[in-house]
A and B are shown apart, each in its own frame.
Chain A
Amino acid sequence: MSFVWPNTGMMLLYAENVLRARPWAVQDGQPGRKLAQLGLLVAAFGVTYGAVMGSFGGVFGERFWQVVYSAAKVPLLLLGTFALSLPSFFVVNTLFGLRSDFSHSLRALLATQAGLTIILASFAPFTVVWYASCSDYRGAILFNTLMFGCASLAAQWLLRRFYEPLIERNPRHRTLLRAWLVIYAFVGIQMAWVLRPFIGNPAAPTQFFRQDAWGNAYVRLVHILLTYLGG
Chain B
Amino acid sequence: MLKWFKQLDRILRGDATRMSLLAEGQMKTPVGGLSVAVVLLGVLYGLCMGSFTMIRTGGEAYMQLIASAVKLPMLFFLTLAVTFPSLYVFNALIGTRLSVLSAMRLLVAALGVMLAVLASLGPIVVFFALSTKSYPFMILLNVATGTIAGVLGLGFLLRTLDRLVVIQQSLESGRFEPPPQADPDKQATDAKTQPTGALDRAGKITTRRAKRVFRVWTTVFALVGAQMSWVLRPFIGSPALQFEWFRERESNFFIAVLHSFIRLFSW
Q: Which residues of A contact B (CB under 8 A)?
A: 83-85, 87-88, 90-92, 94-99, 183, 186-187, 190-191, 193-194, 214-216, 218-219
- Chain B residues contacting A186 (CB-CB under 8 Å) are 124
- Chain B residues contacting A218 (CB-CB under 8 Å) are 137
A84 touching B123, Cβ below 8 Å: yes
CA distance in complex: A215, B134 (Å): 8
A87 touching B13, Cβ below 8 Å: no
A94 touching B131, Cβ below 8 Å: no
Contacts A97-B196, A218-B137; is A91 near B116 (CB within 8 Å)?
A: yes
- Chain B residues contacting A94 (CB-CB under 8 Å) are 9, 12-13
Q: Which residues of B contact A (CB under 8 A)?
A: 9, 12-14, 113, 116-117, 119-124, 127-128, 130-134, 137, 152, 156, 196-200
CA distance in complex: A218, B137 (Å): 9
User: Can you list 24 contacts pairing A with B, beta carbon distance less than 8 Å?
Assistant: A84-B123, A88-B117, A88-B121, A90-B120, A91-B12, A91-B116, A95-B14, A95-B113, A95-B152, A95-B156, A95-B198, A96-B197, A97-B196, A97-B197, A99-B12, A99-B13, A183-B124, A186-B124, A187-B127, A215-B132, A216-B132, A216-B137, A219-B134, A219-B137
CA distance in complex: A108, B132 (Å): 32
CA distance in complex: A193, B14 (Å): 39
CA distance in complex: A216, B152 (Å): 28
CA distance in complex: A219, B139 (Å): 13
CA distance in complex: A109, B123 (Å): 19
- Chain B residues contacting A214 (CB-CB under 8 Å) are 130-131, 133
Q: Which of B120, B127, B132, B197 meets A219, CB within 8 Å?
A: B132
Contacts A95-B198, A97-B13; is A190 near B156 (CB within 8 Å)?
A: no
A97 touching B199, Cβ below 8 Å: yes
